[in-house]
Structure 1
Amino acid sequence: MKTTNRMILAVATAASALLVAVPASAQGRWDWAPGDHPYRLAGPGVPMLYPELRGTPRGRAFVMRNFDFNRDGYINRREADAADSAFAEVAGPDRARFNWDRYGPGRTVREEVVVVDRGGPGGGPNRGHWDRSAMRDYHFRQTPEGARMTLQEDVLFQTDSAVLRPHAIDKLQALAGYLKDNPGVRVSIDGFTDSRGTDAHNQDLSERRAESVRTAFDQLGVVRARFRVRGHGEGDPVATNATPAGMRLNRRVEVTLLGQRADSFDR
C-alpha cells in the first residue's frame, strides 16, 4: 500500500511539474489578477514577449505571477516562450484588443510603473533614460578610437572557455541600455588572452570570447550590425605574462564606444 501511495505521489508530482512548464490549454490555469503593486520586467527573454505582455501593467503582472518559474525576478527565453504561448491561446489572433478584466478582477494598477526591459528593443519606455551612474562604474578611459572599458576574464568566463558565466550578462545591462538609447553609436569588441597555449589556440579563444560578448548584446536587444568584433590572441598585452597577476590582466575583453568621449559619462 505504501509503495502504491508513493507511486501515486510521484506521478502527481511529475504531472504538476509538467503543467508548470507547458503553456496553458485553459485560461483558468493562470493567475490573471494584476496584484497590488507594479511589476518590473528584466532578463534576456523580455524581447520575445508580445507587446501586450511587456507593454501593459496587467501583461507584466501576468508574466511575473505565472511564468517566473524559478522566482529569480528575471524572465529567460523559456519562460518568455511559455508566457507568449499561454497568452496567444487565450487571447487569439486579436491580442491587441484583449479584455484583461474578463479574466481577473479589474483592480487598478499604477500606470507609472517603470519597465526594466533589459532585453527589449530600443525606443521603449526607458528611451532617453539610460543609467549614467552605472555607465560611470564601467570606468571608461579615452583612446584614439573612443571611450573604452575593460572586462576581465574572471568576470565573464571560466578559465580557457568562451562560454559566459551565468550572471555575466548582468555586467552588460547598463551598457546595452545606453546603446539602445543611442542607436548611432558603433562598438568595437576586442578579445585578448595571455601567452599560455599555442598562437592558434589563443587567437581562436580570443575571437570566440569577443563573439560571445557580441551575442550577449544581441540577447539584450542591441542591433548586431553596430559591432566590430576582433580577436587579438596574446597580442597587445597590458602586463607581463611572467606572473599570474599579469596574465590575469591580459585575459580580457575590451569594449570601445567608437568616437565617444570617456568623460561624457562623468557629467
Structure 2
Amino acid sequence: MAGATGEKDMKTKIILAALVAATGVAAMPAVAQDRFDFGGGRPDGPEYRLFGAGVPMLDAPLRETGRGRAFVMRNFDFDHDGRIDPREADAANRAFERFAGDRRDRFDWDAHDRGDGPGPDRDGRGPRPDRVVVVEQSTTYDRGAMRGYGFRQTPRGAAMTLSGDVLFQTDSDVLRPGAIDRLRPLAGYLRANPGTRVAIDGYTDARGSDAHNQALSERRAASVQSAFDAMGVTRARFAVDGHGERDPVASNATSEGQRLNRRVEVTLLGQRADRF
C-alpha cells in the first residue's frame, strides 16, 4: 500500500513539473502551490548552487539565499541537468510570486518556514498575509552605484543618461560586453522595488537619414529593455520609445556634440532624484 502511494505521489510530481514546463506557473491549479518542496538550504540539509543562463533572471531571494536556491533546484530543474535555463527561471519566479506576493523582493524564508510569512503554512491552511515579516529593502540594492548614475529631476521622475557609445558599437543595436555591467546595479534596484515603472528613450545624432535614425533609436531602447528583462525585471514595467535625432542635448555640428546626442535615457517614473 505504501509503495502504491509513493508511486502515485511521484506521478503527481511528474505531471506537475510537466504542466509548469509547458504552460508556466500561472496556469497551475491553486492547490499546486501547496505541493512545492520547501526543503533544503538549511544546516541539516544540502547546500545548493545555481548554474545556467537563467540564473541572472531569478528574483533576488531565490538567487541569493540558501533556501531560495534549494527551492529553485528542488522544484524547477525540469530536465535534471543541474542548470537553470531561462524557461526554468521564469517558472520559478512565477511560482515564487504566487506565494510571496508583493513581498517577494523582501521575503523572509525563516518567517515562511515558521508559518509567519506569506504562502502556505506547514499545516496547509494557506497564506497568512496578516503576519508577513518584512526585511529592510535597503540592503537589496547597491546605493553607491545608484548615486553614481547621476540621476536628475525631471517632470516625469528621476532620469539618468547612458552614453550610446558606452552601450553600443557604432551604428549598432547590439550591446557591448561591458554594457550589462553598467546596467546591473539599476536592475538590482528595480528588482528590489517592483512597483517602480520605467521609461527607456533612445536618441541618435543627426548623421544618416531620419528613417534610419528613428529605427536605430527604437532598436537601441528595445535592447536595453531586453537586457533588464534578462536580469529579472519584468518587461511590462517599461515604456520604450525611440526619438531618432530629435531633442538633441548638444550641437550636431561637432563630433563631441554628436557623441552627447547618441544616448539612452532611463527615467524612474514618479521617483525623486534626491533619494539616490
TM-score range, shorter chain: 0.5 to 0.7
Question: Kindly, what percent of the aligned residue pairs are identical?
Answer: 63
Partner of 2:256: 245
Partner of 1:46: 55
Q: 2:236 aligns with which of 219, 225, 228?
A: 225
Alignment partners' CA distance in 2, 1:243 and 1:211: 27
Q: How large is the Cα RMSD of the aligned pairs?
A: 3.5
Alignment partners' CA distance in 1, 2:55 and 2:153: 33
Aligned-pair CA distance for 1:127: 7.3
Aligned-pair CA distance for 1:183: 1.2
Query: Number of paired residues?
Result: 178
Alignment partners' CA distance in 1, 2:248 and 2:171: 17
Q: Which has the higher contact order (CA 8 A, sep 6+)?
A: 1
The alignment status of 1:134 with 2:129, answered yes or no, reads no
The alignment status of 1:87 with 2:82, answered yes or no, reads yes
Partner of 1:56: 66
Structure with greater helix percent = 2
Q: 2:158 aligns with which of 122, 130, 147?
A: 147
Aligned-pair CA distance for 1:134: 0.7
Q: Tell me the TM-score normalized by structure 1.
A: 0.58
The alignment status of 1:162 with 2:173, answered yes or no, reads yes
Alignment partners' CA distance in 2, 1:163 and 1:234: 19
Partner of 1:17: none
Tell whether the 8 Å contact from 1:46 to 1:54 is kept in structure 2 after alignment. Answer: no
Aligned-pair CA distance for 1:223: 1.0
1:62-106, CA deviations, whole angstroms, 9 ceiling, x for partnerless residues?
x9xxxxxxxxxxxxxxxxx99974238xxxxxxxxxxxxxxxxxx
Aligned-pair CA distance for 1:205: 0.1
Secondary structure, aligned partner of 1:158: coil
Q: Tell me the TM-score normalized by structure 2.
A: 0.56
Q: Which amino acid aligns with 1:132?
A: R
Aligned-pair CA distance for 1:122: 4.0
Aligned CA distance change for structure 1 residues 132 and 87 (closer, same or farther; 3 Å): same
1:134-167, CA deviations, whole angstroms, 9 ceiling, x for partnerless residues?
1000000111111100000111100000000112
Aligned-pair CA distance for 1:180: 1.1
- Counting only pairs closer than 5 Å after superposition, residues 56-205 of structure 1 correspond to structure 2 as 56=66, 85-87=80-82, 122-123=105-106, 128=137, 129=139, 130-205=141-216
Aligned-pair CA distance for 1:40: 8.7
Gaps of 5+ in 1: 1-37, 64-80, 89-120
Alignment partners' CA distance in 2, 1:49 and 1:147: 26
